[in-house]
A and B are shown apart, each in its own frame.
Chain A
């Protein structure tokens, strides 16, 4: 196993110095390296922006079908050009070929979804594999042609940023800026088509044309990305940055620039590292950088991230455990069997200022008594409500109330009281009596 190249230590071991790293990052490591890094970064930004809509439309993998469909286009254009005696390997021949392949692929997917009973996942998978298969057949034809070897074409599959020259970079830059500008111009239309197609259609927006524009941008970004990251991985630039950006925000206006930034950052880092290392393919490094960004986002994002979700879940659990312990303490006074809080729970109760546990006895503080009273009240109101209005048997209501008591807001409690007034609600303010015996061992999980 080679040592991990993504750390600075790894870099220096393999011959690049910190100085070199710094010069690459600041675009001072020579004209070529700077061009490659700039081109890749712009591509990353465009991919992140355009990809946002694709991901939000839940058509993430359409980009995959589209990029695979470029292969037969490229190979076919090469063959045709060579047969007519032209130089097959020039971009002027290959890019239109790629575009034709992409468009044919999109049309095929849409035709299958529109005209047959197959779903879009099957349509995408079928188009992707059949078109790529056709591309492989054509590549093997090229290999056996007297004039051609497929050397230049393989770079489209895996990408070869190193071969990027100033003209390519200018092309990428121009197309990237143009597609970002189109997104800015069509922002309102795209947003409508993304979130509420039917509404947009009813309002008289040309939904079909908007879709077409969106798919067109997708095709354009895919094609300029083919050379840089290769057709197998370009889809990553369209999916990963938007999926990562989605974790940080709920607003499209924030998500678009963020997704563009994350895409640009990934591409920039990937391109820089690959410029420093021999045998480090740019496309793969860009995707791995994007992967790192995604991993950070899914873990650490404030409200949708995994850590935040776990913290939320734990807090909920603690709240439920405290509620149950307090309720048990109160109901024991009514004559029920005592439930011992565990050591952790005892600590939490003390730190929250709710109760003190000593020798297995739970002594409620005034604050704890107040909260316990609220919980018991909510619990029993809910039980009564189920009995009165849902015709539940008194022996069956405890479990449901156990779950609901924690999430009843004061407003809901007031509503329950109003609904139960005159239907067996005894005390005006204190907890109503329990509708079932309390010592039946039904104290729901006190831990």
Chain B
């Protein structure tokens, strides 16, 4: 970082970055920072969309900690994130490895694996809900025709969560695979040649060369996948509506439900702030690991 270009302090060069940043910063401040600050302010009020607001200090936060539904949805969120992120990481890397070199139909397979990532989550959710239907779904129908019992894909709580995780991985794995392919292609082939001359086996090469050099991108994928998973809403809402009961309801859905259906905006904002802090902690940990990595280079 220290070796980067240092602008020479001419007036133009001091002004230039600000001008380059200005349009982005303006939109960013106006449409993200301001509403976010407003959201934080809201968390200190008992705030109804239709009937006004009263200041209550930190009472909304206290309410959240005593609300069993808050804890349940938070727990569900953790289960979902901790299942989705490692699966996405491992599988997208596994798909990227054989497809990082051109030829052998790599272009075709890449496009196919990437295709689900191009669909809107609402469409993905509707299609899978239909495919996994207990009585009318094609999967159970196929299982039945080969003599296997119907599987309660979206019916039993744990099974429904599993189905959601699988579908999430299905839609996102191609996207992150592309990032890994980018990373793999950037590793100079001289490294591999040198290793091969030293007589290293395939697994050795992967472990000692590919993986360490790929670490930065593993972290990028991990950060993005984690944030995405914490924020997941549309797919789940369409596929299970958080059910059966509330067994796949994640915190974001509960926030949305509290804000609109129950008209408790302040309470919803307080839970959003808590969620933000949690995601923040995860991200800082990941970024810290990344920085450590820099210093070792």
Asked if A and B bind, the verdict is no
Residues of A within 8 A of B (CB): none
Residues of B within 8 A of A (CB): none
